[in-house]
Structure 1
Amino acid sequence: MSFVWPRLLWLLLLLPLLVLLYVSILRQQHATMLRHAGLALVQEALSRNRGWRRHLPPLLFLLGLAAMMVAMARPVAVLTLPQEERTIILAMDISGSMRAADVGPNRLAAAQAAAHSFVAAVPKSTRVGVVAFAATAALVQPPTRNHEEIDAAIDRFQLQRGTAVGSGLLVALAAIFPEAGIDIQALTGEGEAPPLRPGSTPPPPKPPKPPPVAPGSYPDAAIVLLSDGQRTAGPAVEEAAQFVADRGVRVYTVGIGTPEGEVVGYEGWSMRVRLDEATLKGVADATRGDYFHATSASELEQIYRNLGSRLVMKTQQTEVSALFSALGVLLALLAAFLSLYWFKRVL
Structure 2
Amino acid sequence: MIDATQALAAINRLPAVSFLWPGMLWLMALLLVLAAAYVWLDRRRRRTAVAYPALRTVGLATPGRAGWRRHVAPLLILVALAALTFAIARPQAVLTLPSRLDTVVLVVDLSGSMRARDVAPTRIRAAQLAARSLVDAQPAGVKVAIVAMAGTAAVAQPPTRSKEEATAAIERLQPQGGTALGNGMLVALTTLLPQAAGDAQRLMNDEEPSRKGQGAGVSPDADTEAVAPGSYAPGAIVLFSDGESNAGPTTLQAAQLAAAHGVRVYTVGVGTPEGVVLSVDGWSARVKLDEAVLKQVADATGAEYFRIEDASGMKKVYRTLGTRLAFDKRDQVEITAFFAAFGALLAACAGMLSLWWFGRVM
Work out whether residues 104 and 237 of structure 2, in 8 Å CA contact, stay in contact via their aligned partners in 1. Answer: yes
- Worse-superposed segment, 124-133 or 7-16: 124-133
Deviation, structure 1 residue 80: 3.3
Change (3 A) 1:301 1:111: farther
Work out whether residues 108 and 149 of structure 2, in 8 Å CA contact, stay in contact via their aligned partners in 1. Answer: yes
| Residue segments in structure 1 that go unaligned for 5+ positions in a row | 191-205
Q: TM-score, normalised by structure 1?
A: 0.81
- Alignment pair present for 1:323 and 2:338: yes
Distance 1:37 1:236 in 2: 90
Distance 1:29 1:45 in 2: 6
Work out whether residues 45 and 62 of structure 2, in 8 Å CA contact, stay in contact via their aligned partners in 1. Answer: no
| Residue segments in structure 2 that go unaligned for 5+ positions in a row | 1-16, 207-219
Q: Deviations over 1:8-61 (max 9, x none)?
A: 111111112223444555567668768866425655996143233223222222
Tell me the secondary structure at the aligned position of residue 189 of structure 2.
Answer: helix
Distance 1:243 1:234 in 2: 15
Deviation, structure 1 residue 151: 0.7
Distance 1:159 1:12 in 2: 66
Equivalent position of 1:160 in the other structure:
176
Q: Which has the higher relative contact order, 1 or 2, with Cα contacts under 8 A spaced 6 or more apart?
A: 1
Task: Name the aligned partner's letter for residue 39 of structure 1.
Answer: L
Deviation, structure 1 residue 337: 1.5
Equivalent residue in structure 1 for 2:69, among 53, 56, 72:
53
Equivalent position of 2:358 in the other structure:
343
Tell me the secondary structure at the aligned position of residue 104 of structure 1.
Answer: coil
Computed over aligned residues only, the root mean square deviation of the Cα atoms, in angstroms, reads 3.2
| Count of residues in correspondence between the two structures | 330
- Worse-superposed segment, 159-168 or 246-255: 246-255
Change (3 A) 1:171 1:327: same
Q: TM-score, normalised by structure 2?
A: 0.78
Deviation, structure 1 residue 260: 4.3
Equivalent residue in structure 2 for 1:104, among 109, 120, 125:
120
Distance 1:233 1:26 in 2: 81
Tell me the secondary structure at the aligned position of residue 154 of structure 2.
Answer: strand
- Alignment pair present for 1:295 and 2:309: yes
- Alignment pair present for 1:309 and 2:301: no
Tell me the secondary structure at the aligned position of residue 311 of structure 1.
Answer: helix
Change (3 A) 1:50 1:44: farther
Equivalent position of 2:95 in the other structure:
79
Tell me the secondary structure at the aligned position of residue 138 of structure 1.
Answer: strand
Equivalent position of 1:146 in the other structure:
162
Q: Rg larger in 1 or in 2?
A: 1
Change (3 A) 1:309 1:47: same
Change (3 A) 1:36 1:144: same
Tell me the secondary structure at the aligned position of residue 259 of structure 2.
Answer: helix
Deviation, structure 1 residue 137: 1.4
